[in-house]
Amino acid sequence: MRILKLAREYAREFHPLCDFNHEAPFKEGDRINYAGRVYDEEEIANLVEASLEFWLTPGRFARDFERGIARAIGVASAFYCSSGSAANLLAVSALTSPLLGDRRLLRGDEVITAAAGFPTTVFPIVQNGAIPVFVDIAMPTYNINVAQLENAVSHKTKAVVLVHTLGNPFDISAVKACCQKYNLWLIEDNCDAFGSEYTLAGETKPTGSFGDIGTLSFYPPHHITTGGGGAVFTSNPLLAKSCLVSAIGGAIALVQAALITRAGGTF
Ligand SMILES: Cc1ncc(COP(=O)(O)O)c(C=O)c1O
């Protein structure tokens, strides 16, 4: 298509180096970016094509992206959403589904998480009426100190929600063993760890694929970006259904809140 050819030409002329020039040798005094945009004319052409399609809800690009994410992590399904925080909210909310029977997360149940983490790893636990139980971290990884994990389990514990801090996998082997022993759900907040791998029982797999549900953030400072955005993913068909139901439930709640606000009420 002519317009896409022109977009590529434009990119070559006006975006020649992105934020990183991998060709240029590093010189003392050069700025070292901790993050930056790495893209080329294909991204610019895709951007133009998606805009011209003018599909205002998730369309073919989002569906392709979801399939790509599921393939990259090695899970059955991935769902694109508005942020990593939204992905964490969907993941924890999915655990409250009646589809899960006795293992369903109820108000007043406990969810174990780490004392140092991201705010929106913890908020979804509180938003769903559950109680976060904090376990300290260990230096130098800033990941959960697994020696203290089992002490935090009570008869009210239903799940463990943990971040792979700064991309360094937590001790998945110990955490999974504890979850299996006490029949707990495991959610991996994988927002900082896209591309990290872990070896368990001789098998090396991407982080995010070891728990029952995993999440990603595509906010720009992360490994790949969609501008903003996130994904929630799982290989458990029941949890996949619960994630979708939570997303629909959230949308209905927003519409209800908007209607109540318009009608001058409170919620
Ligand atoms: C570990 C972790 N979880 C969740 C999030 C939230 O992602 P978002 O900013 O897309 O809402 C972030 C964001 O940086 C994060 O680092």
Per residue, the 3-state secondary structure of 54-115, as one string, reads CCCCCCHHHHHHHHHHHHHHCCCEEEEECCHHHHHHHHHHHCCCHHHHHHCCCCCCEEEEEC
What average pLDDT does range 141-161 have in this prediction?
98
Decide if pLDDT at 259 tops 80. Answer: no
Token pair 């990941």 in the structure block, residue: 143
Is residue 166, in this structure, part of any structural domain at all? Answer: yes
The identity of residue 237, as a single letter, is P
Is the distance from the beta carbon of residue 157 to the nearest atom of ligand 1 less than 6 Å?
no
Kindly report which listed range (190-204, 205-219, 245-259) carries the lowest average pLDDT score.
Answer: 245-259
Taking the C-alpha atoms of residue 141 and residue 167, their distance in angstroms, rounded to an integer, is: 10
Percent of the chain exceeding pLDDT 90 equals 78
Is residue 55, in this structure, part of any structural domain at all? Answer: no
Strands ordered across the beta sheet of 185-189: 77-81, 230-234, 213-217, 185-189, 157-163, 110-114, 131-135
- Ligand 1, pocket-test mutation among 34, 80, 85, 216, most atoms within 8 A of CB: 85
Is residue 39, in this structure, part of any structural domain at all? Answer: no
Condensed to tens digits (0 to 9), the pLDDT of residues 97-133 reads 999 999 999 999 999 999 998 999 999 999 999 999 9
Token pair 């969907």 in the structure block, residue: 90
Take atom 5 of ligand 1 and give the residue whose Cα is closest: 84
User: Which residue range(s) make up the domain with 93?
Assistant: 76-257
Is residue 9, in this structure, part of any structural domain at all? Answer: no
Number of folded domains that form the chain: 1
Mean pLDDT value across the chain: 91
Return the pLDDT at 267: 43
Is residue 53, in this structure, part of any structural domain at all? Answer: no
Is the distance from the beta carbon of residue 121 to the nearest atom of ligand 1 less than 6 Å?
yes
Kindly report which listed range (111-125, 197-211, 213-227, 244-258) carries the lowest average pLDDT score.
Answer: 244-258
What average pLDDT does range 173-178 have in this prediction?
98
Is the distance from the beta carbon of residue 142 to the nearest atom of ligand 1 less than 6 Å?
no
**Any idea what DSSP says for residue 234?**
E
- Both tokens assigned to 110: 């406990």
Say how many Å lie between the CA of residue 35 and the centre of ligand 1: 15
